[in-house]
Each structure stands twice: as structure tokens, then as C-alpha cells.
């Protein structure tokens, strides 16, 4: 929680009348909480309670035991059952469930992810891949945590490439059972939460083999432990200490011809009848696989949201501290600067604040799309595909950004940032794995690139070069006009003298959109042209051609995802009625948009979209205008995140630093006034020299 008293009264000059700029932090706070504000508030209330919070310095065993206990408390609180059917005590509230889950990161990421394993992966697999018989028989004890379970999909040998897992589930017609088997070491299930200690069952993904035919990856419910340990045929290992999330007992599992009844197949998308006949409502094995795997999207959605929450917390801590901490005498001989008044400090933190707002608004759109699909309200195949692409685009950017933001915040707090009591290092350690689990970020961005290329080729399968050029120039007529306008201006920009005038064009939202959109479209079109012949090549040569363009494919996907974030931020501006708040948020959006353009400035210059003068003006505008304008509102912008002391729990953001600073300044003031202050040797020498 930030203190109003810290806000400097800095004026930023008459341009754009920033004197009317202000932030209605209370209103903005509600706005940021979004559609599922109630669920978020309830979860935050839990997260503020010490019994749900991480405790530093516990041994690995104690930390795991504590988080298991907390999971039980969570189960009894009911907050984690929102997504389950109303008939079983849930609320069929998919968006609210994820929103609530995301806020638990404030208590402890270990608790968050362990609850995600139990109810979001293990339980959700039974819910989404199972049918009525599984729901009735299994969900109540999963919901209550009577049956802690593991989600046994990933193997040591295969993470992102789930289709290639080695575990088999072979149907035995004689006994009506499936035989679960691990054929080699690389097919051990690995990194599974609840597998090392607490899980008594698992949803096991395996190649389903019936009468000599492999029907591809399916999920089965498999008991793995009782009070005496592993059940016969089941074995495993503890993954031991990890880089973070040590409240979770990740481990490995392997199966030696373990038999489960036919009914344990989670049979919503594929079933085997008593006669040993396989059937599925989805004829294509490929489409069936992706439909089953599609339920995993909720993990990606929730990691995107949790990363937003953690980023907000990090910036609240660093910006609060930066507004109180004084270091180095700058202008005045007795007063040191508050470090957030240094340009570099602003450059380090304020663009990250803009990114966090963009991530927050983009996440709200993602969660809305998710709720539409999972509630069934907007759940066409196209909706599902859009949801998956959106999640695959946003999750990499936000999880990487959270690590960068936590790191920058920790460095901006100096040595104090390294202490566990200030939370930043531990949060970063815990969130580290978010960038590679639930879909490795690099793999996800490639999925996005494939989708972009697919859309592009569908559109232009039979189109001539003119249509392609039109697409690249912008879908709408207006956009095409803008772009030629841009080009023309770029040629003439040397005529403009001042920074303000040459940046003026880019400052407005439509131009930012044009530049960002143009880049995505041009990159995709250029890649499509280069990959055009791939279909006629041998599989080896086609793979080589794709591989030679892999880096650019990923960069195109990233550019697309950044555009989505920018669009979400811009759309959110339209919902702000208060002119002062809208003005500040527009500056923040500009900082985000111009930051993206600045990051990719070489591309815009190479492709003739910006002149050199205008490119330079962008940096000058960020440093000279946007940062000074936003600086006075920085504390309000983090206050709008709405965190209470029970969420922040970082001693440097508690106001202790301001008290220390005030005490020190008072000491020196008193000393000066008392007349007993020692004289500096430097001063004496200067006097003597005169």
C-alpha cells in the first residue's frame, strides 16, 4: 500500500496541460479487478491471512507439509471449487475460478501451483476428460482433498511434445483391464506435483493400445499409493529440491504392468467397450488429441494472470521504495534525491509499469475468452482455436515479463531487494518455472506463428500478388492510407525541426496501431513467401527450410502478441470516463506502444516505416516527456493495484524506509542548528585556499 504523502508535487510543464492529469486510484483499482472482481477480492482476503502465506526458512519437508495443510484449508474454504459442477458443490464458474486462483500467488506461489495441480490439472482432467461415472465417483474426494492426485502427463523424455510420450495403456480383453506400463527410463513421468509424497492417485496419460492399434494419447485414472506407500507395480522418485516452488512435492512415477479396470479410462473423447472395441466421437486422431489436450489451456490462462499479479506486487514494492529511498546528493547540498527522481530509475521501472498495465488488460480479455469457451457460452471450434492461440501468445510474454519485472524490482531495491524479507527474490525463484511449464514459452510462440501462417495462407491460397500486398499494407482501407501517409512523412521528416513535431504523428494511437500491425503483417507475409515452397519439398528439406526461419517465426509471434497487448490496453482506455485518469493512462499506453516501437526500431528503419529523425524523436519523447509526466503519478498507478499490507509484506515497502530517512535528515538538521556539527576538512581547506 502506498502513502499519499509520498507523492511529489512536480509539475511537468504546460504541454498537453498535464496539470489536469490525475489518477482516480480507487476507481482504477476496481476497473483493473475486472469482470471477476468479487472472486479476486475473496481470494485476496484469503491471501492476506498468515495461515495461507509462505513462511521463510522452513526445511524442504516442513515446507511441503505446511503447503499440504494449507491446501486442506483452501479446500474447506470452498474457493477452489468454483469451476466444478453445481451439482457437486461447485459453481460452474470458470472465469471466477481462474481469477481466484491467480490471486493466491500473493500468499505463496507454491500454494497456488499445488492447488492448480490438485484441482486445475488432476481434478480438471477428471472433469473434462471423464464422464458422469467419473464425476460422481471421483470428484467429491478430489474436491475435498481426500484424494490428492498427480497429473501424470510429462515424461522425462518428453515435455512439450506430448504426442510422443512412451507410456502405454494396453487393453487386455481377457480381463477387461488396461495395463499401464513404462517401457524405458525416458518414459518415466516426471516433474509431477503430488507425485513425490502426497498423491494417492494420478491421471496418467498413455498411448492407448487396443487390439494392436495405437489410438494415441488418452488419460486414465490410476490409484498409485495407499497409507503403506506405492501400490504394487508403481514406483517413483522424488525430484528433490528445486529452484523454487519447494512447497510442492514434485516427483517421478513409473509403472510396471499396472492393471486398472476398463472404466478407469477417462472416456469423454474416446472409449473402449466391454468387447474391446474402441470408439470416439472425433474421427480424426489428430483432432481428438488436440481436443483432449485443449483443456490444458486453463493452466496457461491462469499462469498469464498470476504473472500479472506478481508483476503488480513487484512494482508496488519497488516504486514505493524508490519514492522513499534517498541516495546521492544531486542538486541540493543537504538533501539527497529520492531515487525515483533519477531518469535511469524511471527508465527502469516506468516502462515495466506500462507493460504490467498492458498485460493486465490483455489478461482480462483472455480470461473472458476462456470463460466463454468453458462455460459453453461462446464455444465454437473457432472460439476454442482463438482461445488457444491467444493463451499461447500471451502466456510467454507475461511469464517472461514477470521474471524481468521481479528482477528489475529487486535490483532497483539494491541489497535490500536481495533479502527474503522483501520477497522479490523468492517470488522470482518460484515464478521461474512458469516460463517452461504448461507449455514451454518458445514452443507456444511457434504454435502462434503456425496459426498466423495458416490464417495467412487460408486467406491467400488463391489470391494474386495484389491482394497479398493489400493485406500487408493493412486490412482496412483507412489503414492502407495511413501507411502510405507514414511513408510519405518519413521521406519529408527532415523538414521538421523539433522533437515534438516529428514525434507528433506517432504519439497518436492510430499511428502506433498502424506501426505495430504493419510489422506483424509484413513479417508474416515475408515468412509465408520464404516458406511457400515447403509443401513441395521432401520432409527433411521442408524441416530444414522451417528451421532456417525458426527464429523469425518466433519473433513474428512475439510481435503479434505485443500487438494484442497494445490493443487490449487501447480498448481499455475507452472505458475510462474520468478525463484526468484517461490522460495519465493514455500516457502510460503511449509509453507501452512507443516502447515496443523503440525496441524494434531497427526493423522500422530498415523497412522504411520510420525516418531516422522520427526514430530518434521516439526515444527523446519517452525520456523527455512521457517519463517526467508519468513520474508524479507512479504511486497512484501502483496504489490502483489495490494491495493491502497483508499482500505486500515487504519491509522496505512498509514505510520503514521513509521513517529512517526522516530520522537521518532530522539528526543532521538538529546537528547543524545546534552549532556543534564538525566542520568538513574539505571546507576548511577551501577557506584556507581563498
Of 517-576, binders to its own copies (CB under 8 A) are: 538-544, 546-551, 554
Q: Where does this chain touch its own copies (CB under 8 A) — which range of 158-166, 507-515, 557-565, 638-646?
A: 158-166
Q: Where does this chain touch its own copies (CB under 8 A) — which range of 43-51, 209-217, 358-366, 487-495?
A: 209-217
According to the binding rule CB under 8 A, does residue 436 interact with its own copies? yes
CB of 87 to its own copies, least distance (A): 34
Burial of 466 (0-12, 13-18, 19+ CB in 10 A): exposed
According to the binding rule CB under 8 A, does residue 387 interact with its own copies? no
According to the binding rule CB under 8 A, does residue 411 interact with its own copies? yes
Q: Where does this chain touch its own copies (CB under 8 A) — which range of 41-49, 78-86, 562-570, 681-689?
A: 681-689
Among 176, 216, 509, 655, which residue interacts with its own copies (rule: CB under 8 A)? 216
According to the binding rule CB under 8 A, does residue 185 interact with its own copies? yes
CA 78/CA 80 separation, integer angstroms: 5
Nearer to its own copies, 88 or 537 (CB): 537
CA 443/CA 445 separation, integer angstroms: 5
CA 515/CA 512 separation, integer angstroms: 5
Q: Where does this chain touch its own copies (CB under 8 A) — which range of 42-50, 120-128, 141-149, 283-291?
A: 283-291
Nearer to its own copies, 228 or 683 (CB): 683
H/E stretch holding 329 reads: strand 326-329
The tally of CA atoms less than 13 A away on the side-chain side of residue 314 is: 34
According to the binding rule CB under 8 A, does residue 173 interact with its own copies? no
Burial 10-26 (b: 16+ CB within 10 A, else e): eebeeeeebeebbbbbe
> Restricting to residues 44-103, which ones interact with its own copies according to CB under 8 A?
56-57, 59-60
CB of 55 to its own copies, least distance (A): 10
Among 8, 13, 78, 240, which residue interacts with its own copies (rule: CB under 8 A)? 240
> Restricting to residues 339-358, which ones interact with its own copies according to CB under 8 A?
341-344, 347
> Restricting to residues 251-280, which ones interact with its own copies according to CB under 8 A?
278
Number of residues that bind its own copies (CB under 8 A): 115
Nearer to its own copies, 69 or 161 (CB): 161
Of 416, 367, 342, nearest in space to 650 by CA: 416
CA 270/CA 129 separation, integer angstroms: 9
The tally of CA atoms less than 13 A away on the side-chain side of residue 440 is: 10
Please, which residues bridge with residue 179 across strands?
170, 259
CA 346/CA 380 separation, integer angstroms: 45
Burial 101-126 (b: 16+ CB within 10 A, else e): bbbbbbbbbbbbbbbbbbbbbbbbbb
> Restricting to residues 598-627, which ones interact with its own copies according to CB under 8 A?
598, 601-602, 605-608, 612, 615-616, 623-624
Q: Where does this chain touch its own copies (CB under 8 A) — which range of 69-77, 109-117, 485-493, 654-662?
A: 654-662
Q: Is 78 helix (H, G, I), strand (E, B) or coil?
A: coil
Nearer to its own copies, 268 or 365 (CB): 268
Please, which residues bridge with residue 389 across strands?
none
Nearer to its own copies, 42 or 218 (CB): 218
Can you read off the three cell numbers belonging to residue 138?
Answer: 471421483
Q: Where does this chain touch its own copies (CB under 8 A) — which range of 86-94, 150-158, 257-265, 637-645?
A: 150-158
Pairing type for strands 201-210 and 168-172 reads parallel
Q: Are 403 and 213 in contact (CB under 8 A)?
A: no
Among 7, 22, 41, 158, which residue interacts with its own copies (rule: CB under 8 A)? 158
Among 156, 200, 375, 457, which residue interacts with its own copies (rule: CB under 8 A)? 156
Amino acid at each position: 500500500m502506498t502513502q499519499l504523502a509520498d507523492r511529489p508535487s512536480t509539475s511537468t510543464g504546460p504541454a498537453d496541460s498535464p496539470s489536469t492529469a490525475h489518477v482516480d486510484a480507487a476507481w482504477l483499482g476496481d476497473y483493473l479487478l475486472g469482470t471477476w472482481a468479487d472472486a479476486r477480492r475473496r481470494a485476496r482476503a484469503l491471501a492476506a491471512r498468515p495461515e495461507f502465506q509462505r513462511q521463510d526458512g522452513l526445511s524442504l519437508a516442513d515446507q511441503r507439509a505446511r503447503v499440504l495443510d494449507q491446501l486442506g484449508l483452501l479446500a474447506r474454504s470452498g474457493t477452489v471449487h468454483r469451476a466444478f459442477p453445481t451439482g457437486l458443490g461447485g459453481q460452474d464458474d470458470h472465469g471466477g475460478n481462474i481469477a481466484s486462483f491467480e490471486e493466491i500467488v500473493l500468499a505463496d506461489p507454491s500454494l497456488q501451483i499445488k492447488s492448480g495441480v490438485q484441482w486445475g490439472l488432476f481434478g480438471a482432467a477428471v472433469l473434462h476428460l471423464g464422464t458422469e461415472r467419473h464425476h460422481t465417483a471421483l470428484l467429491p474426494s478430489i474436491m475435498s482433498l481426500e484424494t490428492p492426485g498427480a497429473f501424470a502427463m510429462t515424461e522425462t523424455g518428453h515435455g512439450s511434445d506430448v504426442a510422443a510420450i512412451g507410456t502405454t495403456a494396453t487393453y487386455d480383453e481377457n480381463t477387461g483391464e488396461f495395463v499401464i506400463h513404462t517401457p524405458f527410463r525416458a518414459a518415466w513421468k516426471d516433474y509431477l506435483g503430488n507425485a513425490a509424497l502426497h498423491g494417492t492417485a494420478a491421471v496418467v496419460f498413455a498411448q492407448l493400445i487396443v487390439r494392436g492399434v495405437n489410438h494415441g494419447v488418452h488419460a486414465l485414472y490410476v490409484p498409485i499409493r495407499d497409507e503403506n506407500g506405492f501400490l504394487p507395480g508403481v514406483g517413483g522418485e522424488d525430484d528433490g529440491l528445486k529452484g523454487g516452488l519447494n512447497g510442492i512435492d514434485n516427483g517421478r512415477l513409473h509403472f510396471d504392468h499396472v492393471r486398472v479396470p476398463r472404466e478407469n479410462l477417462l472416456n469423454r473423447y474416446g472409449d473402449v467397450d466391454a468387447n474391446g472395441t474402441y470408439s470416439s466421437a472425433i474421427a480424426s486422431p489428430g483432432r481428438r488429441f488436440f481436443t483432449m489436450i485443449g483443456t490444458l489451456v486453463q493452466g496457461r490462462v491462469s499462469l498469464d494472470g498470476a504473472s500479472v499479479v506478481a508483476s503488480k506486487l513487484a512494482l508496488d514494492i519497488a516504486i514505493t521504495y524508490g519514492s522513499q529511498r534517498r541516495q546521492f546528493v544531486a542538486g541540493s547540498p543537504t538533501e539527497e534525491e529520492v531515487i525515483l527522481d533519477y531518469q535511469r530509475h524511471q527508465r527502469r521501472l516506468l516502462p515495466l509499469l506500462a507493460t504490467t498495465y498492458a498485460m493486465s488488460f490483455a489478461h482480462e480479455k483472455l480470461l473472458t475468452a476462456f470463460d466463454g469457451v468453458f462455460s459453453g457460452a461462446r464455444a465454437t471450434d473457432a472460439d476454442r482455436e482463438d482461445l488457444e492461440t491467444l493463451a499461447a501468445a500471451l502466456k510467454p510474454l507475461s511469464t517472461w515479463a514477470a521474471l524481468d519485472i521481479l528482477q528489475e524490482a529487486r535490483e532497483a531495491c539494491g541489497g535490500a531487494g536481495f533479502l527474503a524479507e522483501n520477497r522479490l527474490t523468492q517470488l522470482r525463484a518460484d515464478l521461474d518455472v512458469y516460463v517452461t511449464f504448461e507449455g514451454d514459452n518458445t514452443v507456444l510462440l511457434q504454435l502462434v506463428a503456425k496459426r498466423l501462417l495458416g490464417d495467412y495462407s487460408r486467406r491467400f491460397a488463391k489470391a494474386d500478388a495484389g491482394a497479398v500486398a493489400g493485406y500487408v499494407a493493412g486490412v482496412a482501407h483507412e489503414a492502407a492510407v495511413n501507411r502510405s501517409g507514414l511513408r510519405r512523412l518519413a521521406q519529408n521528416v527532415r523538414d521538421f525541426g523539433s522533437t515534438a513535431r516529428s514525434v507528433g504523428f506517432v504519439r497518436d494511437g492510430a499511428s502506433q496501431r498502424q506501426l505495430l500491425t504493419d510489422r506483424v503483417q509484413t513479417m508474416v507475409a515475408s515468412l509465408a513467401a520464404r516458406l511457400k515452397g515447403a509443401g513441395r519439398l521432401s520432409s527433411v528439406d521442408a524441416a530444414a527450410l522451417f528451421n532456417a526461419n525458426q527464429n523469425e517465426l518466433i519473433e513474428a509471434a512475439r510481435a503479434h502478441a505485443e500487438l494484442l497487448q497494445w490493443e487490449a490496453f487501447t480498448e481499455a482506455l475507452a472505458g475510462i470516463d474520468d478525463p484526468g485518469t484517461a490522460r495519465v493512462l493514455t500516457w502510460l499506453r503511449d509509453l507501452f506502444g512507443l516502447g515496443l516501437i523503440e525496441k524494434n526500431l531497427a526493423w522500422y528503419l530498415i523497412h522504411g516505416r520510420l525516418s531516422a529523425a522520427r526514430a530518434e524523436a521516439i526515444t527523446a519523447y519517452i525520456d523527455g516527456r512521457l517519463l517526467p509526466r508519468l513520474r508524479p503519478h507512479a504511486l497512484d498507478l501502483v496504489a490502483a493495484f489495490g494491495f493491502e499490507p497483508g499482500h505486500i509484506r515487504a519491509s522496505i515497502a512498509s514505510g520503514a524506509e521513509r521513517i529512517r530517512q526522516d530520522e537521518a535528515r532530522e539528526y543532521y538538521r538538529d546537528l547543524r542548528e545546534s552549532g556543534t556539527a564538525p566542520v568538513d576538512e574539505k571546507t576548511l581547506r577551501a577557506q584556507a585556499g581563498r
